[in-house]
């Protein structure tokens, strides 16, 4: 049949975009008329890019190391861009050692970018000598560095904490803050009845009539009672005198207030124990305004303890352990620890025995 031998249909036509050239052109696009062909980069161009990148990385690493070192060492002004700053030092909890507060006062006192120092106090007091040492450091910064030191009492500024605040140029406190408690206390626990109940006896060998005064295993003798009372009275006199000096008044005006009692901030103002009722924010803004800082002041604080290689290296630098003396004789040293403080009963007294090795000097043992 003729229809059985019909010709097959023609293939579909191919489109231009499906065709690929056999060879890629010399350039992706033909050069336009009137423009030169693209210029190839020289080797110095790539060398400059690599060198610039390495320099940028080096500067970035150096900057990060510098920032870390300043934060570890306690830089006060960060990058040093803020020249009008108010330093804030927190005094909180029991005052056991003056070292940290004193070092912060010295650092901010020597920092030219810090215009004034604000002590943010929230402490019931602490050791007598520690509070006194911080008191004198505040006076030194005021006199030698010619900087204002302001105290802002948050909840509690009593005893040793008030001792420190009295050295400042001005004292702020909230209406409900606890202020005052000018007095000295010395105490320890007598456990003699407990030893007798346990059928134990405390043995003490000493030279000097009052060397074992305050032995917690027995009652005080009248002479020991007078001895310790004289120590407390002497420190009480120092406390009253220093507060009067800091508050620019006389000892006679402070003594009626130095009964160990506390007052609220509202009661303290007419008594002359504080200068103004106000919180931390009020103290900060008024201090900045007096220092010639307009607007919001830049607040700097001591750097906190960091965790890292620098902090680890600093902690590993410990005091070397002294070697024992070659001709030393072992001895037992009995120590009585009596806490004398400006503050409430927040410490625990301790008596302990420590084995030690010390050299003898002409047959006398000093311990």
Q: Is 71 helix (H, G, I), strand (E, B) or coil?
A: helix
Contact 317, 349 (CB under 8 A): no
Q: If DSSP codes are grouped into helix, strand and coil, which group holds residue 333?
A: strand
Cα–Cα nearest to 355, from 341, 338, 367, 339: 367
Could you give the CA distance from residue 109 to residue 115 in angstroms, rounded to a whole number?
Answer: 9
CA–CA separation, 211 and 98 (whole Å): 28
Look-up of token digits 């160990």: 260
Q: What is the C-alpha separation between 105 and 149, in angstroms, rounded?
A: 10
Contacts of 356 (CB under 8 A, 6+ apart): 330, 331, 332, 333, 367
Which of the following is catalytic: 83, 211, 230, 332? 211
Active-site residue identified among 75, 159, 166, 181 = 159
User: 211 an active-site residue?
Assistant: yes
Strand boundaries in the chain, DSSP class E: 85-92, 114-123, 126-127, 148-158, 170-173, 178-180, 185-187, 262-264, 276-277, 298-300, 329-337, 339-342, 350-358
117, 150 in Cβ contact below 8 A? yes
Dist CA 126 CA 96 (whole Å): 6
Q: Does residue 223 have an active-site annotation?
A: no
> What are the backbone dihedrals phi and psi of residue 56, each rounded to the nearest 5 degrees, phi first?
-65, -40
Active site (catalytic) residues: 159, 211
């Amino acid at each position: 049949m003729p229809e059985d031998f019909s010709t097959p249909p023609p293939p579909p036509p191919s489109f231009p975009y499906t065709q690929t050239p056999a060879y890629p052109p010399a350039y992706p696009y033909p050069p336009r008329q009137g423009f030169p062909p693209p210029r190839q980069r020289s080797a110095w161009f790539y060398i400059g890019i690599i060198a610039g990148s390495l320099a940028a990385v080096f500067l970035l690493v150096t900057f990060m190391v510098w920032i870390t070192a300043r934060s570890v060492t306690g830089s006060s002004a960060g990058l040093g861009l803020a020249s009008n700053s108010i330093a804030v030092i927190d005094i909180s909890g029991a005052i056991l050692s003056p070292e940290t507060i004193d070092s912060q006062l010295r650092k901010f006192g020597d920092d030219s970018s810090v215009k004034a120092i604000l002590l943010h106090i929230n402490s019931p007091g602490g050791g007598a000598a520690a509070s006194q040492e911080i008191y004198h450091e505040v006076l030194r910064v005021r006199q030698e560095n010619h900087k204002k030191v302001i105290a802002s009492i948050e909840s509690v500024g009593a005893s040793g904490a008030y001792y420190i605040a009295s050295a400042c140029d001005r004292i702020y406190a909230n209406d409900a803050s606890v202020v005052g408690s000018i007095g000295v206390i010395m105490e320890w626990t007598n456990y003699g009845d407990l030893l007798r109940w346990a059928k134990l006896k405390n043995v003490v060998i000493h030279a000097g009539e009052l060397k074992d005064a305050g032995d917690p295993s027995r009652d005080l003798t009248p002479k020991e009672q007078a001895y310790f009372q004289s120590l407390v009275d002497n420190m009480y006199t120092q406390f009253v005198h220093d507060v009067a000096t800091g508050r620019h008044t006389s000892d006679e005006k402070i003594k009626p207030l130095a009964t160990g009692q506390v007052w609220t901030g509202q009661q303290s103002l007419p008594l002359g124990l504080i200068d103004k009722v106000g919180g931390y924010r009020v103290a900060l803004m008024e201090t900045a305004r007096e220092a010639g800082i307009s607007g919001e002041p830049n607040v700097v604080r001591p750097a906190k303890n960091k965790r890292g290689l620098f902090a680890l290296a600093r902690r590993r630098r410990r005091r070397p352990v002294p070697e024992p003396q070659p001709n030393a004789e072992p001895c037992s040293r009995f120590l009585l620890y009596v806490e004398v403080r400006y503050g409430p009963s927040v410490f625990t007294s301790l008596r302990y025995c420590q084995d030690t090795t010390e050299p003898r000097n002409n047959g006398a043992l000093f311990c």
